[in-house]
Amino acid sequence: MADTRTHIEVMGILNATPDSFSDGGKFYHVDHALRQAEQMVQDGAAWLDVGGESTRPGSEGVSVAEELDRVLPIIERLQANFDVPISVDTCKTAVMAEALKLNIAMINDINALRDEGAEQLLASAPDVKVCLMHMQGEPRTMQHEPRYDDVVNDVKQFLDGRVRACVNAGIQKNNIYLDPGFGFGKSVRHNYQLLQRLQAFHDMQLPLLIGMSRKSMIGHVTGREVSERLAGSIAAATIAAMKGAQIIRVHDVKETVDAMKVVAATLAGEFA
């Protein structure tokens, strides 16, 4: 795979939920979401990631109908107003199917396309990217004493199996991104072991999409509440980008875009 480390994209998080851990309820209504998206695009977001179901630790799921009611109107308005690729954060095949009808560019799935029919659905959409994420357990229980023999090797083994399954189902390998799933069934120690050894995932020869923005792994180290985790989040994003992540998924787009410009210039050894 060609070295793409100097091309780092920032993905803006747009949660159409009343209960997400960081911005739950802020962008629940279409007009509010549209204003936030506009700001993110102005700040340099290369992607917008729309989610209609909170996946914070301890969260309960929502029905397909409710998730669709949350995300489809926002996707339609985003497509009509912005020329930025849209990612949809969902683990439900039925939601994916409806989102694909709106010409979205990526499915970002915390469950790595393990819902029935998801692999086949994405195989039928060759122009759509997919991000496969690792999660131990499910959001409701994932932080109840997560355990690994070796967190990096265990996560790699899981993702390798999912990549093979998706390719066997007909998904083009060059459409796949990988996400080790920071905060999803990992202790603070597990999260920082993953970040320290993130370059190990390059053995899989697939691009990395990384999300650590404002997460508890930042709060645990800094002692800061969610709203005060910008500096820690920027540090984590910078480390991930220096270790080869291609997409950084964040709440704070403007500041992260600036940081990624510095990282790209450093990796290139010059300012073009």
The structure tokens 């469950």 sit at 111
| Residue among 270, 238, 243, 263 nearest 6 (CA) | 263
Q: Which of 129, 214, 229, 249 is catalytic?
A: 249
Q: Which of 70, 129, 215, 243 is catalytic?
A: 215
And the tokens for 254? 């403007």
Say if CB 208 and CB 245 are below 8 A apart: yes
The structure tokens 């920082």 sit at 192
261 a catalytic residue: no
Say if CB 79 and CB 86 are below 8 A apart: yes
Angle between the 64-81 and 30-42 helix axes, to the nearest 10 degrees?
A: 50
Say if CB 5 and CB 207 are below 8 A apart: no
Q: Is the dihedral of CA 147, 132, 98, 38 positive or negative?
A: positive
Strands 47-51 and 9-15: parallel
Neighbouring-strand partners of residue 12:
48, 250
249 a catalytic residue: yes
And the tokens for 43? 């700040």
Q: How far apart are CA 181 and CA 39, in angstroms?
A: 27
Which residues does 111 contact at the CB level (< 8 Å), separation at least 6?
A: 91, 133, 135
Q: What are phi and psi of 248, to 5 degrees?
A: -115, 120
Q: Is the dihedral of CA 158, 159, 161, 162 positive or negative?
A: positive
Residues forming the active site: 215, 249
